[in-house]
Structure 1
Amino acid sequence: MKPAEGARPLDEIAAVVNDDVITEFELQQQTHIAALNLRRQNIKLPPMDVLRRQVLDQLIMDKAVEQHAREVGIRVDDAMVSAAIEQIAANNKVTVAQMQSDLAKDGVPFAAFREQIRREIVAQRLREREVDSQIHIPESEIDSYLASQGKGAAATEYHISHILIPTDAGTDVAKAKALAEDILKRAKSGEDFSSLAVSYSKAGDSMNGGELGWRTSQNMPTALWNAIQEHHQNGSVELSQDSSGFHIVKVTGVRNGIDNPANGGLIHMTRARHILMQVSQLTPEASVVSRLTDIRNKILAGKEDFQTMARLHSVDPSSTRGGELGWLQPGDTVPEFESAMDKLKPGEVSEPIKSRFGYHLIQVEERKDAKADPRRVRLAALQALREKKLAEAVTNWQRELRDKAYVEIRQVGN
């Protein structure tokens, strides 16, 4: 059979990256997966030739990373990939077989999905070795951070998205600037920012519409904060430049952060107990929920007390303390647990709550507002500073790998 008119042979070479190639088949497959993911995120698809170019650019980056990982001896075996896929399935509350079936319905071969996960693990391992391990935060920097935080009672948080137009070696900076300014103009005119990010951004989050989530001025990459520092109200779109390129940043939400512990602000603390039961072949999910519901009913009826039931039935180490977890701060527990706990009044007992650890019954004992432990305040400052530096370092590292690679693009458009 001859390919349809306008179609390309699947074994045609789309690009050469050092001593490796990206085939038309690989490009078509990854473009299909990217389109599916964008639809799931309700992001408008760009023209197909634009999407292909963006996907090809990401594949080139993946190849450069993979080749460098081989050079430095990083290997990911099948067992590691299988374990990662099992965790993904568990996080999505499905079995691996169900996930495989869902992928097949979308036209995504399971082998292609495994390869994508393998590439992600390789990239993560390489990044941990070459970037993460090189991030060092001196104590003096933590002190400065805490002093600057102490100037305000609460840290304002900004929900941001961004587009990166890089200025790598050999880039025509004037053309890059003109493109960035055109994108800025279109975004300010109301064109969908997520679609613009998918079409133009060379950042690793482009296929998520450039969304970076909630950030404060302290843990936001410097270039992004420089863009919105003067105009950071909801809906603002601004432009900045640094050594990596031009950044178009949009503010899609503004909210007050939690009271700043560094300024003597108070945090909300909850003292709670819980009973944990886990699902297994011997105790299926329905049985676990039924048993916890029965325990809850006995506690509410006054026939049993929570501490005794925790000692008898909980599989958590806290069972020896009657399920006592002590005073908990925001972020100490997984989101599902914290969300359910926050809705309870002192003395109340939750319905069975599912988390990745199993099913919980939660009892809130009391609440208070108190100053945070200074050690925890410093740890939070360290994490914020590390997150900021890491975001900047990863972008530079990726572009350096891309610049060092020999790349020859054979086919791009439709």
Structure 2
Amino acid sequence: MKSKLTNCLRPLLLGALLLSGAVHADVRPLDSVAAIVDNDVIMKSQLDKRVREVQQTIAKRGGTNVPPADVLEKQVLERLIVENLQLQIGERSGVRITDEELNQAIGTIAQRNNMSVAQFQAALAHDGLSYEDARDQVRREMIISRVRQRRVAERIQVSEQEVKNFLASDLGKAQLSEEFHLANILVATPESASSEAIQAAARKAGDIYTRLKQGADFGQLAVANSGSDNALEGGDMGWRKAAQLPPPFDAQVSALSLGDVTEPTRTPGGFIILKLLEKRGGGNVTRDEVHVRHILLKPNEVRSEAETKVLADRLYERIKGGEDFGDLAKSYSEDPGSALNGGDLNWVDPQSLVPEFRQVMADSPQGVVSKPFKTQFGWHILEVLGRRATDNTEQAREQQAMMVLRNRKYDEELQSWLRQIRDEAYVEIKLPGAEQAAQADQ
């Protein structure tokens, strides 16, 4: 593999050298290969660009002690290698992101930041970032997400019995009401690490713990030292249930106060330190439900949009004139699921309905028939028959338990899979001093 890639690159490098010799007035530094990763390469320009982006992100989070460039470069390159491997898997598997899907994802990102797409582009430009580069990064992340879904998430199964056992356990009962926002630092050790390597990792983890207790910034130390997949995000793990964490971390986080860190704990992958950033949860879960009935009229080949609207208006007037809503729904409604029941949808969760229907339903007083309105399905007339709040605690607990167990299995499987594809890949670091650094690590 190495010789093939070298042969492919040699003509390009030779041409570049000849060109630079012919044009002495405009000498520019050539791009170079930072790493060979199976059938692809990571260029030094890619690495430098990502390092700059990470530095900007750290600065925005208020970080003052940015790790040295060589330390950050090593972390970023490892991230790029693992990303590249997943993208190659996506390419071989035929994973494609259409422009429509990408545009929708960009729109969602902008919306989450309370921006239009145009404002999002302007914000990127203000930060010195290219909109096209941002689109490319989102596309890459979507491909990686789909690869992980196929290779990891789809293999995870949680049985009803597992859910029942979890809910009946002391841990399940104690922890479902609380969530923890956590960050971690992993001082990694290889699977076949020698006792000397394990002791060195233990000393490094202990030193990091001491610095944290003395007030060092957790995020900065994570960026500089953590071997976890989330290192460049300051070790941020997001929100987790204690039960999602393998022992003994499930018990440790429950005993932490906000801002506390755990002592380094040995795991199969190395030594882990956790920090509790936030805590939330508690209380019963209720769900608002609405008892509603409706009449649906759809435009078709025989009846135009305008004619459908006219018919809806006529039915509305007939109901206002005293005719029975249920009888008219049985005669005219084109919703096969409710027409025979007089248009009755029974008790429904408003969140399960399309936004236009949900809004009209929310604005309609109980017992008052709405004026005709349009959704993607056609023209509707609705009447709210009742509203209630139901105790959904047990159902919510089962859903939470299912999610906790799936997330626990997913996290373990994902890290194992990432290590596997990294160990099985052909990777050659081409940065200056890479060989000496590798020998020092051994």
Shift of 1:170: 5.3
Structure 2: which amino acid aligns with 1:379?
Q
1:390 aligned onto 2:417: no
More deviation, 158-167/402-411: 158-167
Q: Aligned partners of 2:115, 2:255: CA distance in 1, in Å?
A: 46
CA deviation profile, 1:105-150 (whole Å, cap 9, x unmatched)? 3332333222211210111000100111111111121112111257
Unpaired stretches in structure 1, ≥5 consecutive residues = 2-7, 262-266, 274-313, 327-365
Structure 2: which amino acid aligns with 1:12?
S
Structure 1: which amino acid aligns with 2:220?
S
For residue 199 of structure 1, the aligned residue among 206, 219, 224 is: 224
Check whether the contact 2:256–2:276 (CA below 8 A) recurs between aligned residues.
no
Shift of 1:165: 2.3
1:258 aligned onto 2:282: yes
Shift of 1:208: 1.9
Aligned twin of 1:133 = 154
1:98 aligned onto 2:119: yes
SS at match of 2:58: helix
SS at match of 2:272: strand
More deviation, 146-155/16-25: 146-155
Shift of 1:159: 3.0
Change in 2 beyond 3 A, CA 1:170/1:18: farther
Shift of 1:316: 2.2
For residue 87 of structure 1, the aligned residue among 98, 102, 108 is: 108
1:163 aligned onto 2:188: no
Check whether the contact 1:227–1:247 (CA below 8 A) recurs between aligned residues.
no
Q: How does 1:304-319 map to 2 (within 5 A)?
A: 316-319=356-359
TM-score normalised according to structure 2 size:
0.64
Greater relative contact order, per chain length (Cα 8 Å cut-off, separation 6+): 1
For residue 54 of structure 1, the aligned residue among 66, 75, 82 is: 75
More deviation, 93-102/401-410: 93-102
Check whether the contact 1:221–1:391 (CA below 8 A) recurs between aligned residues.
no
Shift of 1:225: 2.7
Aligned twin of 2:213 = 188
Change in 2 beyond 3 A, CA 1:68/1:315: closer
Unpaired stretches in structure 2, ≥5 consecutive residues = 1-20, 22-27, 293-353, 367-385, 435-442
Q: Aligned partners of 2:365, 2:246: CA distance in 1, in Å?
A: 36
1:249 aligned onto 2:274: yes
Check whether the contact 1:163–1:203 (CA below 8 A) recurs between aligned residues.
yes
Shift of 1:38: 1.8
Shift of 1:367: 11
Q: Aligned partners of 2:80, 2:355: CA distance in 1, in Å?
A: 45
SS at match of 1:160: strand
Change in 2 beyond 3 A, CA 1:219/1:369: farther
Change in 2 beyond 3 A, CA 1:13/1:19: same
Check whether the contact 2:176–2:397 (CA below 8 A) recurs between aligned residues.
no
SS at match of 2:244: coil
Q: Aligned partners of 1:48, 1:98: CA distance in 2, in Å?
A: 32
Check whether the contact 1:203–1:210 (CA below 8 A) recurs between aligned residues.
yes
SS at match of 1:74: coil
Structure 1: which amino acid aligns with 2:50?
Q
Aligned twin of 2:439 = none
SS at match of 1:39: helix
Q: Aligned partners of 2:355, 2:40: CA distance in 1, in Å?
A: 51
Equivalent residues, number: 323
Q: How does 1:1-400 map to 2 (within 5 A)?
A: 9=29, 11-44=31-64, 45-148=66-169, 151-152=173-174, 155-169=177-191, 171=193, 172-222=197-247, 224-225=249-250, 228=253, 234-254=259-279, 257-259=281-283, 316-319=356-359, 321=361, 323=363, 371-372=391-392, 374-400=394-420
Shift of 1:97: 3.4
Between Structure 1 and Structure 2, which shows a larger proportion of helix residues? 2
Change in 2 beyond 3 A, CA 1:151/1:322: closer
Check whether the contact 2:176–2:241 (CA below 8 A) recurs between aligned residues.
no
Q: Aligned partners of 1:325, 1:241: CA distance in 2, in Å?
A: 60
Change in 2 beyond 3 A, CA 1:176/1:73: farther
